[in-house]
């Protein structure tokens, strides 16, 4: 029983150290520094990056996060353009304000079959 409590305490302590603010901050700073040392790498010619930037915000006159139906439309347009694969560097970790947009986006992902 003592051994189990000891292992549980070690597990909890390890979790707290790993995910605590200062350790997480240090980890992120180290990642940033490694990317700075490596320098910018351009993608191969057959890869196109579709970025969402300040100009996008101005053009769409919307605030982030965009409704999921916007991403669905993007997928439809990319499919029409003949794109072979799509990757999102965005966390879709909370539901859209309008639940129907989640369904629209989900259907677009299924229909394109390359996300």
Q: Which tokens belong to 76?
A: 């439809």
Closest to 112 in 3D by CA, of 79, 66, 72, 70 = 79
Residues 6+ apart with CB under 8 A from 97: 67
CB 87 within 8 A of CB 115: yes
Cα–Cα–Cα angle for 90, 25, 52, rounded to 5 degrees: 25
In terms of residue numbers, what domain contains 22? 2-38
* 60 and 90 fall within a common domain: yes
Residue 49 lies in a domain: no
DSSP code string of 38-86: H---PPPTT-------HHHHHHHT-PSSPPHHHHHHHHHHHHHTT-S--
What rounded mean pLDDT belongs to the chain? 89
As a whole number, mean pLDDT of residues 91-96 equals: 90
pLDDT value at position 35?
92
* 72 and 96 fall within a common domain: yes
Question: What is the distance between the alpha carbons of residues 84 and 50, in angstroms, rounded to a whole number?
Answer: 14
**How many residues make up the chain in this entry?**
115
What pLDDT, in 10s, does the model give residues 41-93?
Answer: 888 888 888 888 888 888 888 877 889 999 999 999 999 999 999 999 888 98
* 94 and 62 fall within a common domain: yes
Q: Which residue has the tokens 């677009």?
A: 108
Overall domain count for the chain: 2
* 58 and 28 fall within a common domain: no
CB 86 within 8 A of CB 78: yes
Whether the pLDDT of residue 14 is over 90: the answer is no
Q: Which tokens belong to 84?
A: 């072979």
Whether the pLDDT of residue 107 is over 80: the answer is yes
């Amino acid at each position: 029983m003592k051994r189990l409590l000891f292992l549980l305490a070690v597990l909890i302590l390890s979790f707290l150290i790993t995910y605590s603010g200062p350790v997480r901050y240090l980890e992120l700073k180290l990642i940033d520094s490694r990317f700075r040392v490596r320098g910018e790498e351009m993608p191969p010619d057959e890869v196109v990056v579709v970025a969402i930037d300040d100009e996008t915000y101005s053009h769409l006159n919307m605030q982030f996060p965009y409704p999921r139906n916007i991403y669905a439309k993007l997928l439809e347009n990319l499919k029409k353009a003949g794109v072979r694969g799509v990757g999102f560097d965005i966390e879709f970790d909370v539901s859209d304000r309008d639940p129907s947009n989640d369904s629209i986006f989900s259907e677009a992902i299924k229909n394109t079959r390359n996300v």
